[in-house]
């Protein structure tokens, strides 16, 4: 596969993800059936329904690809060609009818992300990227900001399900960021945090405890929009199983890393 193939696959996959988004829209005003995967980790019947629908639609596009999907991943490992799926990123938001909810779908090919889609059906926005073809929102090209001063930067973050174990570290980062930047936002859906960096709405995003389905599509969105994504702890190139992520517009990256670096 080459970059032309990635663009063609992205077009078909975007249509599939948007169609699956109608399940979230149709469920939005209906009662939720919520169960717990952990102390504060939720799953709804909509998560499962969207995942099953996405897998069916995406299989028809690339029958040879495997799946790494949140609700059915188990101990699955990445193959050379795989769809990485978070059917409802922001499940807690969905359960509370907060509209920061998205489906995240990334295509992994031979060691790198080559296509990414973050579809936010309640916000009516779909963010897309194919390697070598840039990033777009609802078909319009998007680009990261040129902000190079932390005092002018709007930063986003998220809190992991392991908050009890990591609360001191998280509050340390938060206190540094709050007093150094223009402000900090937390929307509760990492895929949208990445997308908003790519769209120039945020200047930087950091978080720990994310899984491949949280980061796969957004990682490519940011890089194709001109930004930079590294490991939060080391500033080394990002990997899908990294402990933490730092995604920025690029201009602020090293400064942001130094700010958050452990003392």
What are the binding residues?
Answer: 70, 86, 89, 214
Are 131 and 215 in the same domain?
Answer: no
Specify the number of domains making up the chain.
Answer: 2
**Tell me, what's the pLDDT at 197?**
98
| Cβ–Cβ < 8 Å for 217, 104 | yes
**Does one domain contain both 250 and 197?**
yes
Tell me: do 45 and 93 sit in the same domain: yes
Are 83 and 63 members of one domain?
A: yes
Please tell me whether residues 82 and 14 are part of one structural domain: yes
- pLDDT score, position 71: 85
Q: What is the CATH number of the domain that holds 206?
A: 3.40.190.80
Of 142, 177, 202, the domain-final residue: 142
Domain match, 61 and 35 both: yes
Q: Are residues 135 and 206 in the same domain?
A: no
* Cα gap 201→153, rounded to integer Å: 10
Instruction: Show the low-confidence residues of the chain (pLDDT under 70).
Output: 36-38, 40-42, 74, 263
- Does the pTM surpass 0.85? The reply is yes
Residues 197 and 240 in one domain: yes
CA distances from 235 to 114, 146, 161, 244, 260 (A): 22, 20, 23, 10, 11
Residues 117 and 167 in one domain: no
Q: Which of 83, 116, 142 represents a domain boundary (last residue)?
A: 142
Q: Could you read off the pLDDT of 24-75 as tens digits, one per residue?
A: 999 999 888 888 666 756 688 999 999 999 999 999 999 999 999 988 876 7
Question: CA end-to-end span of the chain, whole Å?
Answer: 44
Write down the pLDDT at residue 263: 66
The pLDDT, as a whole number, for residue 38 is: 61
Q: What is the DSSP string of 22-80?
A: HHHHHHTTSPP-EEESSSS-EEEHHHHHHHHHHHHHHHHH-TT-EEEEGGG-TT----S
Q: Do 124 and 202 lie in a common domain? A: no
Of 142, 175, 200, which marks where a domain is finished? 142
How far is it, in rounded angstroms, from Cα 82 to Cα 69?
A: 10
Structural contact between residues 156 and 193, judged by C-beta atoms closer than 8 angstroms = yes
Do 42 and 162 share a domain, yes or no? no
| Sequence ranges of the binding site for Mg(2+) | 70, 86, 89, 214
CATH number of the domain that residue 138 is part of: 3.30.540.10
Inter-residue contact 106 to 84 (CB < 8 Å): yes
164 lies in the same domain as 101: no
What count of residues does the chain have? 263
Task: Give the count of beta carbons closer than 10 Å to the beta carbon of residue 49.
Answer: 18
pLDDT of residue 170: 93
**Segments forming the whole domain that contains residue 166:** 150-260
127 burial class (0-12, 13-18, 19+ CB within 10 angstroms)? buried
């Amino acid at each position: 596969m080459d970059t032309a193939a990635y663009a063609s696959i992205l077009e078909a996959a975007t249509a599939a993800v948007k169609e699956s988004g109608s399940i979230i829209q149709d469920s939005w005003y209906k009662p939720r059936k919520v169960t717990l995967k952990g102390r504060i980790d939720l799953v709804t019947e909509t998560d499962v329904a969207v995942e099953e629908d996405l897998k069916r639609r995406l299989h028809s596009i690339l029958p040879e690809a495997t799946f790494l999907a949140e609700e059915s991943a188990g101990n699955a490992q990445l193959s050379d060609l795989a769809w990485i799926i978070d059917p409802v990123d922001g499940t807690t938001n969905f359960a509370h009818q907060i509209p920061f909810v998205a489906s995240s779908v990334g295509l992994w090919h031979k060691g790198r992300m080559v296509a990414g889609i973050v579809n936010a059906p309640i916000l009516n926005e779909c963010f897309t990227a194919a390697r070598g073809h840039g990033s777009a929102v609802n078909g319009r090209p998007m680009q990261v900001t040129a902000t190079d001063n932390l005092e002018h930067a709007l930063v986003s973050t998220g809190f992991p399900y392991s908050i009890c174990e990591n609360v001191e570290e998280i509050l340390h980062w938060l206190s540094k960021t709050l007093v150094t930047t223009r402000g900090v936002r937390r929307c509760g859906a990492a895929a949208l945090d990445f997308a908003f960096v790519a769209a120039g709405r945020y200047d930087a995003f950091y978080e720990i405890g994310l899984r491949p389905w949280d980061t796969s599509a957004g990682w490519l969105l940011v890089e194709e929009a001109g930004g930079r994504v590294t490991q939060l702890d080391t500033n080394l190139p990002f990997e899908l199983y990294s402990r933490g992520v730092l995604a920025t517009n690029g201009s602020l990256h090293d400064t942001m890393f130094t700010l958050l670096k452990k003392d």
